[in-house]
Structure 1
Amino acid sequence: MSLMHRRNRLPPPQPEPIRRIEAGPWAIELLPGCAYATRYVATQASIGFAFDSQCGLHAIGSDRVHPFEAMPNGLAFVPVGCDVFSESPQGGEYLRILRTDGVALEGERAFNNRIDSPAIALAHRMRNALLQASAQDDWESWALGLAERVTGHERLPAPPPGSITGRRMRLLDEFIDAGLAGPLGVPAMAALLGLSEGYFIRAFKLATGKSPHSYLIDRRLAKARTLMTDTSARLTEIALACGFNSQAHMTTLFRQRLGVSPAQLRGHSRS
């Protein structure tokens, strides 16, 4: 499917910006999904939340660089003084929370990929508010709530056999992205991993905090956002290319999941 007609050519959109807000002692940033490479020693602790699965190389609190495959909806923590190296050719949308008043966040051990239902709800609420500000936003309460979720974290146990690992998540993402324009469902995803549908649904929810159906909607929305910023295609074309029934269907899910319409989000990217 062509995503552009000559009579509808528009100036090339700009990538989504980094969105940042300061509220009381907190600084909250929403980093867009894109390739990155960073190396630093943390001068202050930070809380992170990865909305998307991603892969790359990292060395967190270590002098050994390892490949990583991060799960979606994963909570992370970087303590003060931690040596951080991380790079990814694709990256993923990421929420970062810092204190700006010099008060140290609790926690001494770096971690990532922690699936925590309250943290998922808070992070998605904060993303929505960063995309579309509201008078009812409660930034300090949300940031404090996420800070409480990183307190007392212990090392995660090894995943049980048949679980959705980072490698399996990457296979799923590739399979989903290749078939987004058409119908996709649990039977096909479970078959890809050689799992029964019932086991796949349970394992997926345990690994990501979301159902396969909900995750599939997230991938459709993520692809639509990429096309909105990387192309000048019409929203109707983008909706069909991402597997939505119509532009209206896509708009409804944008409002439900992100708190903003596609037109508003594209307008913000061009401003």
Structure 2
Amino acid sequence: MSHRNRRHPITVDEPIRRIEAGPWAIELLPGAAYSARYVATQSAIGFAFDSQRGVHAIGSDRIRPFDAMPNGLAFVPAGCDVLSESPMGGEYLRVIRTDGKTLAGDHAFNNRIDPQAIHLASRMRSALLQASLEDDWESWALGLAERVEGHEAFTHQGSITGSRMRLLDEFIDAGLDSPLGVPAMAQLLGLSEGYFMRAFKLATGKSPHSYLIDRRLAKARASMRDTTDSLSQIALACGFNSQAHMTTAFKQRLGVSPAQLRTDSRHSSATDKQHSSI
């Protein structure tokens, strides 16, 4: 839930993308290690696109390990003490109201799975990656704020606990360059395929297949940032059949091609370096 201090990767870092629209400030924080400690001056909505883990203390002086589930909605009220650290982090959307009006809610929460919030957050991420004149920021931000207030949203992990999610992430990441499927993932957790698919959808709001694509995209974006490998090399290393297959997945999920995303990141990095040398 923080405006996070990011470590610089080996080559080119994806920028923090930010837009202000009416009474809203919206940020997309790229997946990277972070460490932050602050008192929230304004209430903030967050959305974790990736699973994350680290330690935090939210409204408490007790520092505890945390596991953030993928596609989880979060909220931090104004005045809340926040400490959060993660050695890897994950892509994160942050929405705050800047006109002094507080958002409803006085208790912090995370890992809330809400299908409408997933849809809104995904649209906002695509728009931040590639802005267009048709973007409806105020409507999207207000819609996400309503999901924080809504009673239909829920937190439910069931059989897919944080520790099981960690085990599954490690298994997926280690085998992304080879075929992966539901049978292998279910067997890893000792669950039947049908039960695993239902439990996973309940815990993350997405199917295992959809999540597997998300992990491939996340690894591809990290490789684009941290290496100088060609896009065709990255595609094969991340389990895509070809560069064209990877490009299609990028456009469908993120609204932008990998080539454009890499070009934009390099341009942003060069601009930052010029500003820092002035």
Question: What interval of TM-score do these two structures reach, taking the shorter chain for normalisation?
Answer: over 0.9
Q: Distance in 1 between matches of 2:16 and 2:252?
A: 22
Q: Which has the higher contact order (CA 8 A, sep 6+)?
A: 1
2:112 touches 2:153 (CA, 8 Å); kept in 1?
no
Count of residues in correspondence between the two structures: 258
| SS state at 2:219 partner | helix
Q: Cα gap change, 1:191/1:38 in structure 2, threshold over 3 Å: closer, same or farther?
A: same
Structure 2 counterpart of 1:50 = 48
Once the two structures are superposed, what CA deviation does each residue of 1:17-68 show, in whole Å capped at 9, x if it has no partner?
0000000110000001111111111111000000000110001111111111
Q: Cα gap change, 1:142/1:62 in structure 2, threshold over 3 Å: closer, same or farther?
A: same
The alignment's C-alpha RMSD in Å is 1.4
Q: State percent identity of aligned pairs.
A: 78
Which of 195, 202, 209 is the equivalent residue of 1:199?
Answer: 195
Q: Distance in 1 between matches of 2:89 and 2:156?
A: 25
Which of 112, 117, 120 is the equivalent residue of 2:110?
Answer: 112
Q: Distance in 2 between matches of 1:98 and 1:153?
A: 20
Once the two structures are superposed, what CA deviation does each residue of 1:91-116 show, in whole Å capped at 9, x if it has no partner?
00000001111111111110000000
Q: Residue 13 of structure 1: CA displacement?
A: 3.9
Q: Cα gap change, 1:157/1:221 in structure 2, threshold over 3 Å: closer, same or farther?
A: closer
2:39 touches 2:80 (CA, 8 Å); kept in 1?
yes
1:6-85 pair list within 5 angstroms: 13-85=11-83
Which of 237, 250, 253 is the equivalent residue of 1:257?
Answer: 253
2:113 touches 2:156 (CA, 8 Å); kept in 1?
no
Structure 1 counterpart of 2:143 = 145
Q: Residue 248 of structure 1: CA displacement?
A: 0.4
Q: Distance in 2 between matches of 1:154 and 1:136?
A: 29
Which of 247, 251, 268 is the equivalent residue of 2:264?
Answer: 268
Structure 1 counterpart of 2:185 = 189
Q: Distance in 1 between matches of 2:16 and 2:243?
A: 26
Is there any run of 5+ residues in structure 1 with no aligned partner, and where? 1-11
Q: Distance in 1 between matches of 2:41 and 2:184?
A: 46
Is there any run of 5+ residues in structure 2 with no aligned partner, and where? 1-9, 268-278
The amino acid across from 1:64 in the alignment is: R
Q: Residue 156 of structure 1: CA displacement?
A: 5.7
Structure 2 counterpart of 1:230 = 226
